[in-house]
Amino acid sequence: MPRTNLKKRKNRLSKILSFLKNEYPNAKCHLNFDNALELLIGSILSAQCTDKRVNMVTPDLFEKYQNAYDFSKADIDVLKEDIRSTGFFNNKAKAIIACTKMLCEKHDGVVPDTIEELVKLRGVGRKTANVIIGNYHGKPGIIVDTHIGRLARRLWLTDNKDPVKVESDMREIVPEEDCTFFSNALGDHGRTVCKSRIPLCGECKISDICPSFREFN
């Protein structure tokens, strides 16, 4: 169970959310995309890879493969070379082809708009599913990546390490209309200030309400 009760977690969340809206008002997904399929492919490629690197690869990739049917029929060895620089290209190429084949067979090539259907696709977990429903479909998405999980624990919004449980804890306290923004903005704070090894507590504007402040100072 979280170290503080639900009421205290909600109160702390309210202050954190106000800070995020002031500090990161334009927070959004860092992957470049024009449609749900491009966001899906980009999210698969982003595993163990920076969004910046993915964005360097995807313009040519999306010009070459313009829909799910194109990806599903791709020569796997050619696709591996197309995405090599993103790392783990063998598994990613297999996942992309398998995923898009399922899209073509079960969804007429259209990316689903529910977490339940998205997670049935090869290479798609809850993190990627939430990225898509939140940043493309405009539904409440709690995106639990390494940054979100780390900050949620440091801020005592959860005690859990399992991403599914962290997501559940966040959905308890984050207003639905703020879920996607909260995820994107907290992720930005984790990248720029509350870093993994040495958080920049002296630069953090919410250090006064952070229960972990004393651990690093």
Hey, which residues are catalytic here? 127, 145
Angle CA(141)–CA(37)–CA(151) in degrees, nearest 5?
A: 30
What Cα–Cα distance (Å) separates residue 159 from each residue in 17, 29, 65, 69?
A: 19, 26, 42, 42
Angle CA(14)–CA(143)–CA(113) in degrees, nearest 5?
A: 115
According to DSSP, residue 214 is labeled: G
**String of DSSP letters for the chain:** --SS-HHHHHHHHHHHHHHHHHH-TT---SS--SSHHHHHHHHHHTTTS-HHHHHHHHHHHHHH--SHHHHHT--HHHHHHHHGGGS-HHHHHHHHHHHHHHHHHHHTTPPPSSHHHHTTSTT--HHHHHHHHHHTS-S------HHHHHHHHHTTS----SHHHHHHHHHHHS-GGGHHHHHHHHHHHHHHTS-SSS--GGG-TTGGG-TTGGGG-
